[in-house]
A = this chain, B = another copy of it.
Amino acid sequence: MTLADELARQQRSISVAEFFEKNKHLLGFDSPTRGIITTIKEAVDNALDACEEARVLPDVFVGIKRTGSEVFRITVEDNGPGIIPAQVPFVFGKLLYGSRFHQIRQSRGQQGIGISAAVLYAQLTTGLPTLVISRTGPDNPASRFLLQININTNEPEVVEQSEVEWDRTHGTRVQIEFKSSMAAKKRLLEYLKYTSVVNPHARIRVELDDETYLFERVSDEVIACPQAIKPHPHGIEIGQLMRMLGAEGGSCGEFLVENFTRIGKKTAEEICRNAGIPPATPAASLTPAEQKRLLGAMQGVKVPAPPTQTCLSPIGEELITRGLEKEFQMDFVRSRTRPSSVYSGHPFLVEAAIGYGGKLPPDGNAQILRFANRVPLLYQQGACAITGCVAGVSWKNYNVSQAGLPTGPLLILVHVASTHVPFTSESKDAIAAIPEIEREVTLVLQELGRELKTYLSRRDKNRLQEDRARAVCSIIPEIAAKVAEIVDLPVPDTSAIEGRIMRKVVVKKMSRDGRVRLEVKNYTSQPGALTIYDISPDSGEGSDPKPAIVTELDGEHTKVWHVEIEPGGAWSAEYFGAGGGSLEIRGMPPEHVVVVDLDAQ
């Protein structure tokens, strides 16, 4: 017997379940703490995808509960369309099984691996099967499954199955128990927060041991589920074409029209003519040489890019801004959604936002939020094309300091949406460096950089003016005192002048000859709205304009005016009275208002 015979006896087929059990880190189960986040991510992805397909506003519950010293039970429940009982075991108990792999459209899950990998991980680390409850509508009972995966065959094993009562009319609940430690709590909440930012139509409720968190939706609009499209003639390889041709019953011309987007009857004829193949030739009868000529002609023909309106689902500039404003306090936010584009026949588009200032940490690298098909990417930032693009932009051109990444109180959000996001690994942590995608990300960052620069320049200009004004103001009282001394008069109140120099809203009250006058002047560059409470023995009789409210208490009248005032504008009111009393201003931050109560002197 040769050595080759001996070696042959060791050769074996490896089941895909075995493969991923041994290489669980490839799917994001590289550490017990990460396991929790990965499981929740996969289940929430599925929940949001399902709700989109059913056109319902997602209401997702996430529960994390310690059930043993190192064992955690993860529960994710949604109000999606549910899964019919015959499919449940396959969806959860078989790797590489799903509905979205063969469709060309944007979706969170693509491969049919995620959630079954969590089931695999649970049975590996605790030996426990996974519990699934699903109901497809009010007329159907809810089904309850206990299931696991046969590692040697990658087929589901149903441990228990029954019909149960369930208060939901439709939806799915999955409960998975595995070994972990809860060290990654901060990261988990971060993941949920970011998910909420890019899914502004979703409500996510979280119970983490005894704490509850709610990520409320900011939009009540159901988002349209992306529609699947056919492949584009420019984005296909010879191997795929040969397979498709082999499975075709019709003619070449019919084959082209039926199987590809952007090919009508006329284009099909042009392709066939250029390939030297009569359109009526049966598609399955082409020789390898003809197949190659056909591919060449398909790739050479001029056709529009794939339609992206329906197969992609961008978040949109307004919702990104609202989502960010909900979770972060910033002085400046801008969002941009780029027009869609194509790489290797896959439609994609890039959206991005930049936030600045506010409560963002003033030092260190900018915070980068990366998203792919509305899913936050939490790991391997350094390996991601998005990070590469952020570092590749010359931020100094936009008055932002940079050390590799831009630094300062800066937040950068980038969302890549595609019918096929090219991840660097099956754990879906980082986007591969595809030149077409890198180009779009760079362009959108440059657009936003220019807007940030405009904002920063204006802010710097304002600051400069403020500094100058402050310097001037600091000597005004001294000048006033000197002048008063010379002309032998009391020192005047200079605060109105300061208000003018400092660009504030100045409210003045003065009384003379039995008349009281209120004046408001807006020296700021913003419209202002304030409420004046003028409290004195005067009833405000004969006032023009009239107060909105007058109340009396113990002989003191409170007269209330609501004042709206344009930048540079003035407002005044006069009434009969003796003046005195006090003045209160509400509705504007105190640092923006100067009150000059001449009566109070």
> A586 CB to closest chain B CB, in angstroms?
51
Cβ of A201: which chain B residues have Cβ within 8 Å of it?
none
Measured CA separation A102–B127 after assembly (Å): 21
Cβ of A242: which chain B residues have Cβ within 8 Å of it?
127
Give the contact stretch, choosing among A418-426, A488-496, A570-578: A418-426
Q: Does A483 contact B (CB under 8 A)?
A: no
Q: How many residues of A contact B (CB 8 A)?
A: 73
Q: Does A96 contact B (CB under 8 A)?
A: yes
Q: A4-B84, A7-B53, A383-B382 are in contact. Are A124 and B240 (CB under 8 A)?
A: yes
Measured CA separation A598–B94 after assembly (Å): 92
Q: Does A81 contact B (CB under 8 A)?
A: yes
Cβ of A124: which chain B residues have Cβ within 8 Å of it?
237-240
Type the 1/0 row for A82-98, where 1 means its CB is closer than 8 Å to any CB of B.
Answer: 11101100110010111
Cβ of A219: which chain B residues have Cβ within 8 Å of it?
none
Q: What residue in chain B is nearest A94 (Cβ atoms)?
A: B13
Cβ of A237: which chain B residues have Cβ within 8 Å of it?
124-125
Copies of this protein in the assembly total 2
A3 touches B239 (CB 8 A): no
B86 touches A8 (CB 8 A): yes
Cβ of A102: which chain B residues have Cβ within 8 Å of it?
10, 12, 14
> A232 CB to closest chain B CB, in angstroms?
15
Q: Which of A267-308 contact B (CB under 8 A)?
A: 288, 291-292
Cβ of A26: which chain B residues have Cβ within 8 Å of it?
423, 425-426
Q: Does A2 contact B (CB under 8 A)?
A: yes
Q: A14-B112, A125-B237, A151-B239 are in contact. List 17 more A-B contacts (CB 8 A).
A: A3-B54, A4-B136, A7-B81, A10-B99, A11-B87, A11-B90, A11-B99, A13-B97, A18-B101, A19-B96, A23-B111, A26-B425, A380-B424, A382-B383, A383-B430, A424-B425, A425-B426
> Interface residues, chain A, CB within 8 Å of chain B?
2-5, 7-8, 10-16, 18-19, 21-23, 25-26, 30, 50, 53-54, 81-84, 86-87, 90-91, 94, 96-99, 101-103, 111-112, 123-127, 136-137, 140, 151, 170, 237-240, 242-243, 288, 291-292, 380, 382-383, 420, 422-427, 430, 432
18 A–B contacts from the bound complex (CB under 8 Å): A3-B53, A7-B53, A11-B90, A11-B98, A11-B99, A12-B102, A13-B96, A13-B97, A21-B239, A25-B422, A26-B426, A124-B239, A124-B240, A126-B238, A127-B238, A127-B288, A380-B424, A383-B383
